[in-house]
A = this chain, B = another copy of it.
């Protein structure tokens, strides 16, 4: 019994959850990015990265950092470019392996993060606090943790076309009908 039957209600609920996740993310990231940018010249992703870096005082390999915040290696390079230009982060080499380089937060980075966190974390706590009782928030955290992206690595990103009987896709030979070069 490889695949299960998907009832219309299953699809309906999944679709609802997905839509709400998308819209919540869009609304919240836009708001917070605007606030953070205006107040400290940072983005939401910058904060996420700096948060990882303060917890790793000896630095962290860029590829591992990428996995933690769900960016690609090139995405991390680009993001760190900005933080390095702002002197919030610096590079360090690995003595034993010249291929790897570490990202290390600077004192200025720690200070800037501390300042930015004050307002940002308060806004976040207020936003959630206004909407959820403590037990509800705990429940939300637990439920969200089951979604992809919850682990440490990014293995789960490599997602194979699973279940048999997947409609819309002939298994052999059929080239994906690419609609337009966008």
Interface residues of A (CB under 8 A from B): 1, 3-4, 6, 9-11, 13-31, 34-35, 38-42, 44, 48, 69-71, 82, 85-86, 88, 112, 115-116, 118-119, 121-132, 134, 136-141, 143-150, 154, 156-157, 159, 161-163, 165-169, 176-180, 182
A169 nearest CB neighbor, chain B only:
B119
- Report whether B85 and A121 are in contact in the complex, using a CB–CB cutoff of 8 Å: no
A171 to B171, CA, bound (A): 46
With A138-B13, A143-B136, A168-B119 already in contact, the answer to whether A126 and B41 are too (CB < 8 A) is no
Copies in the assembly, this chain: 2
- Report whether B11 and A144 are in contact in the complex, using a CB–CB cutoff of 8 Å: no
With A38-B176, A136-B143 already in contact, the answer to whether A124 and B18 are too (CB < 8 A) is yes
- Report whether A28 and B118 are in contact in the complex, using a CB–CB cutoff of 8 Å: no
With A124-B15, A177-B40, A182-B82 already in contact, the answer to whether A147 and B31 are too (CB < 8 A) is no
With A40-B179, A82-B180, A147-B28 already in contact, the answer to whether A165 and B123 are too (CB < 8 A) is yes
With A17-B137, A40-B177, A149-B24 already in contact, the answer to whether A127 and B167 are too (CB < 8 A) is yes
A29 to B21, CA, bound (A): 11
Q: Which residues on the B side are within 8 Å of A147 (C-beta)?
A: 20, 24, 27-28, 127, 131
A-B contact pairs, 6 of them (CB 8 A): A13-B137, A17-B141, A22-B70, A24-B150, A86-B179, A119-B167
A69 to B34, CA, bound (A): 19
A165 to B126, CA, bound (A): 10
Q: Which residues on the B side are within 8 Å of A177 (C-beta)?
A: 39-41
